Structure 1
């Protein structure tokens, strides 16, 4: 708020002394610099840098405030809208983030990063068709971003376009062979397709890259439990939930793209007396989702 008040004071002083009508005692007036758009752009750039720095300390509210002021100073610059939109999304203001990124796209339709971010924001609000469209447009401009192929795969997966999802994940892996989340998500798709053995193979590949990941460990446990391999499944499940207890939440798993078939089998697995104590107790609202 300090930046906003200081700027408003400068603008107020400037406006008071910019009239052409004669004033009395002009010799006593303080010197007022001419404030042109370059000044506002420079100030706006500094505010954006401050906002980015604040995000490193998770001070999103302060960061968003600076980004909003930067947009007021330089509404013609796509960078201001781009950073504001990204921060609004991080601060969970999804509608505000989408609107800001839409404006960034209007100002810079050929900026791949803007299109990728807009596509990701559409995904978060549940508009998967628009997500696919924007990410595809970005990939036409820059085909070397593994994360964007991963995001595209996630959007296809939500649309139940399983073949397209796997193809997108594979493209991400081609660009970055150690990208275990893409390998993990291929397993999620395969499980929904009824290809349990293929899913197990994918999750094991993900663990070869990083053996300390709870998600593929838990997924393997659930699949093995369905196959009747109870002892191995229970040991893996306990290990996974001790690694990261967030995965003991059905709502969290759904948010992380676990499909209906895998979720149903997970409910059965979580009901086991040896696993149940590690499972998060959720409200009826979350359970109903």
Structure 2
């Protein structure tokens, strides 16, 4: 603890000489030591006021690392009373607000940092992250590109730009961004994983597996990559490899609900229904209100001939999320199968008016619908009323495309 005023001054100067980046590589124990050191200085009345703001921003940074985001915001606010134009404080406050999912406020804090220091690429990147969380993906990309104008080798911004492009379903561009990140930092396992997911969405499954394996070479205990690898094996119908990959993910993180769900999906495809139910129930123990898991239990019950139980599962899923289309169509098929023709058609029509892609059996197969449910769905889709509806939606789509072509041609004149 500080002994005299000169000690306090020298100790605080020593702490302030460290850049915030220096704290990133510290272990948790080392961070705890630094936090205690800073806190003892801040509690000492002999601390020179001109050094207090610098110490507060370092405390805020460490508070964030310990997930004490409210405390970090308080430290930032105290620092801003001393130095209102400290861009590092505004940036740290923004990150703490983002961690608390207060994204609009985070954006405002980053913008304050950028008013003070327009070339502060950290704040541009962080602003992009907050905008991405607000699903304002185009604006997020602009922010990431500003960061990259200032620092072209900032691998975090390349990866984050890729994520925003991914959410816009611009998968090839996302891959190009991830590859830029990997040129700069070849051992960046997060970027390898993200690239694999984009390849998966493009149905380039063999390449996706190779990419997930690159992530796992770098970080063998990366449970997310193991689970993604399992998902890819499932699409390739390599079911035993899929199960093995999910089990690796669960060895590392036993409460990883997506890996339990992936196992359930695989057992469903293998028609091992009791094992599938057990896996989904494990997933639901961890995430009780995940509507997708509940809906998939309905898929199993239907294949087991338990139609009424399946309907109850699908109704439960809809109760959690009334925008969830799949169980609504499944109920329509089940009602149609039970002879409740009018109710089944009404339910199916409602869904297909929202999204005609659910009228495609290949889409239903991809969603893991089993043989019995697919066969009954085919019968419903062959109903003249449904066929008319689907043909109308196809014609409407063609009409819209022709109108867009006309508008495009007229704009060129």
- 1:182 CA drift (Å): 0.9
- 1:45 CA drift (Å): 4.3
Would the alpha carbon gap of residues 232 and 180 (structure 1) be closer, same or farther in structure 2, given more than 3 Å must change? same
Q: 2:353 aligns with which of 242, 248, 255?
A: 242
Q: 1:209 aligns with which of 320, 329, 336?
A: 320
Q: 1:96-144: CA deviations, max 9, x gaps?
A: 1110111221222112122112212222232222111111111121123
Q: What residue number does 2:272 align with?
A: 161
Q: 1:207-252: CA deviations, max 9, x gaps?
A: 2222333221221121122221222222222222223222111111
Q: What residue number does 1:251 align with?
A: 362
Secondary structure in structure 1 of the residue aligned to 2:305 = coil
Q: 1:186 aligns with which of 297, 304, 329?
A: 297
More deviation, 77-86/92-101: 77-86
Bigger relative CO (Cα 8 Å, ≥ 6 apart):
1
Secondary structure in structure 2 of the residue aligned to 1:274 = helix
Pairing 1:79–2:79 present = no
Secondary structure in structure 2 of the residue aligned to 1:204 = helix
- 1:87 CA drift (Å): 2.7
For 1:11-30, what aligned pairs fall within 5 Å after superposition? none
Q: What residue number does 2:204 align with?
A: 93
Q: 1:52-101: CA deviations, max 9, x gaps?
A: 34334433222212322433443344334223322322343322111011
C-alpha contact 2:269 2:370 (8 A) present in aligned 1: no
- 1:184 CA drift (Å): 0.9
Pairing 1:132–2:243 present = yes
Aligned partners of 1:53, 1:141: CA distance in 2, in Å? 28
Structure 2 spans left out of the alignment, 5+ residues: 1-152, 393-413
Q: What residue number does 2:219 align with?
A: 108
C-alpha contact 1:74 1:80 (8 A) present in aligned 2: no
Structure 1 spans left out of the alignment, 5+ residues: 1-41, 282-289
User: Structure 2-normalised TM-score?
Assistant: 0.54
C-alpha contact 1:212 1:243 (8 A) present in aligned 2: no
Aligned partners of 1:142, 1:85: CA distance in 2, in Å? 20
User: Structure 1-normalised TM-score?
Assistant: 0.75
Would the alpha carbon gap of residues 59 and 240 (structure 1) be closer, same or farther in structure 2, given more than 3 Å must change? closer
Secondary structure in structure 2 of the residue aligned to 1:144 = coil
Would the alpha carbon gap of residues 267 and 94 (structure 1) be closer, same or farther in structure 2, given more than 3 Å must change? same
